[in-house]
């Protein structure tokens, strides 16, 4: 059984003006997501600024998300690191909190070999009971999880079950799905490519867009899975200008700006991320209005 089908939100980590994590706002945002159809909460991912959270904050945010969600929908915790030992410890702790899965990004900066990646993921999975979703985003990590490596892991490690694919390479994704013989839970990591990945067997998306448009993102996936391809296509294509605006600067700079404009209390960004420039804010606001969000 899949961890989830539909739209999982790569939820932001809201901050107070002093840059402390705003747990009261996080609870409010989680409730908003659930009330508007989101199918899974993904906490402490890239959009959640995990790279600038302390390890203590990282774990506290995961624990809080589990408590706030109250088993209404699954919670998947981002527990990746460029250090295998750290990723193991984060994953074990998250597992003890009762998460429904962990999302483990490929090691970054180190540029592990494919053999190193097999060892990395196998060690993490071997220490926990929770299912593992691999996260392949070479544009950020400088490391590409190749189809043959994914297939080896899925076929040889019982609790490695899925992948968040943010390669942007549809040919690679199709080859990967072929090698996995239908045994891979595929989630789009790019909001502008949800429909193409659904068409080759994907189950949904781990979405930035869902932070501000949860119902539309959920509907995009479910309309496709339930057979209304035309309606799904319209939602996907109508959302493209807004998605482009949400990625005109490095994620999560624009989505936090969008949430703040909508009164959703995302708060500031931790350095080295900086606030969105005014010209891009204006473009983002214009696309939000066109999409009917304000």
Q: Which of 63, 164, 256, 281 is catalytic?
A: 164
- Predicted pLDDT at 1: 80
Q: In 149-237, where do the E strands start and end?
A: 160-165, 185-188, 204-207
Return the residue matching tokens 């968040």: 164
Query: Does the annotation flag 11 for ligand binding?
Result: no
Query: Does the annotation flag 149 for ligand binding?
Result: no
**In the annotation, is 16 catalytic?**
no
Tell me the CATH number for domain 6-227: 3.20.20.70
End-to-end CA distance of the chain: 37
Interior/surface letters 75-106, b for 16+ CB within 10 angstroms, e for the rest: bbbbbbbbebeebbbbbbbbbebebbbbbbbb
Q: Which of 135, 187, 256, 281 is catalytic?
A: 135
With a threshold of 0.75, does the pTM exceed it? yes
CB 6 within 8 A of CB 204: yes
**In the annotation, is 164 catalytic?**
yes
pLDDT in tens, the chain (294 residues): 899 999 999 999 999 999 999 999 999 999 999 999 999 999 999 999 999 999 999 999 999 999 999 999 999 999 999 999 999 999 999 999 999 999 999 999 999 999 999 999 999 999 999 999 999 999 999 999 999 999 999 999 999 999 999 999 999 999 999 999 989 999 999 999 999 999 999 999 999 999 999 999 999 999 999 999 999 999 999 999 999 999 999 999 999 999 999 999 999 999 999 999 999 999 999 999 999 999
DSSP β-bridge partners for residue 164: 135, 187
Q: In 185-253, where do the E strands start and end?
A: 185-188, 204-207
């Amino acid at each position: 059984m899949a961890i989830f089908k539909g739209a999982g939100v790569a939820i932001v980590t809201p901050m107070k003006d002093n840059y402390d994590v705003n747990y009261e706002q996080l609870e409010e945002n989680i409730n908003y997501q659930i009330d508007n159809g989101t199918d899974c909460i993904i906490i402490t991912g890239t959009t959640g600024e995990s790279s600038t959270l302390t390890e203590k904050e990282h774990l506290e945010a995961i624990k809080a998300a589990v408590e706030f969600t109250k088993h209404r929908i699954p919670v998947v915790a981002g527990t990746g690191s460029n250090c295998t030992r750290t990723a193991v410890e984060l994953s074990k702790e998250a597992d003890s909190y009762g998460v429904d899965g962990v999302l483990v990004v490929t090691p970054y900066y180190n540029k592990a070999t494919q053999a190193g990646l097999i060892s990395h993921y196998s060690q993490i999975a071997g220490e926990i009971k929770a299912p593992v979703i691999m996260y392949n985003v070479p544009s950020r990590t400088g490391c590409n999880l190749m189809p043959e490596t994914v297939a080896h892991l899925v076929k040889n490690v019982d609790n490695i079950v899925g992948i968040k694919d943010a390669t942007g390479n549809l040919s690679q994704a199709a080859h990967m799905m072929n090698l996995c013989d239908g045994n891979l839970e595929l989630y789009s990591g790019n909001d502008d490519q949800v429909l193409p990945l659904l068409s080759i067997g994907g189950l949904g998306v781990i979405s930035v867009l869902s932070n501000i448009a949860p119902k539309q993102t959920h509907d995009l996936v479910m309309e496709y899975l339930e057979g209304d391809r035309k309606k799904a296509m319209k939602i996907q294509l109508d959302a493209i200008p807004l998605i482009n605006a949400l990625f005109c600067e490095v994620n999560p700079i624009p989505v936090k700006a969008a949430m703040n404009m909508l009164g959703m209390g995302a708060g500031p960004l931790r350095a080295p991320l900086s606030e969105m420039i005014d010209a891009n804010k204006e473009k983002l606001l214009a696309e939000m209005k066109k999409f009917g969000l304000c």
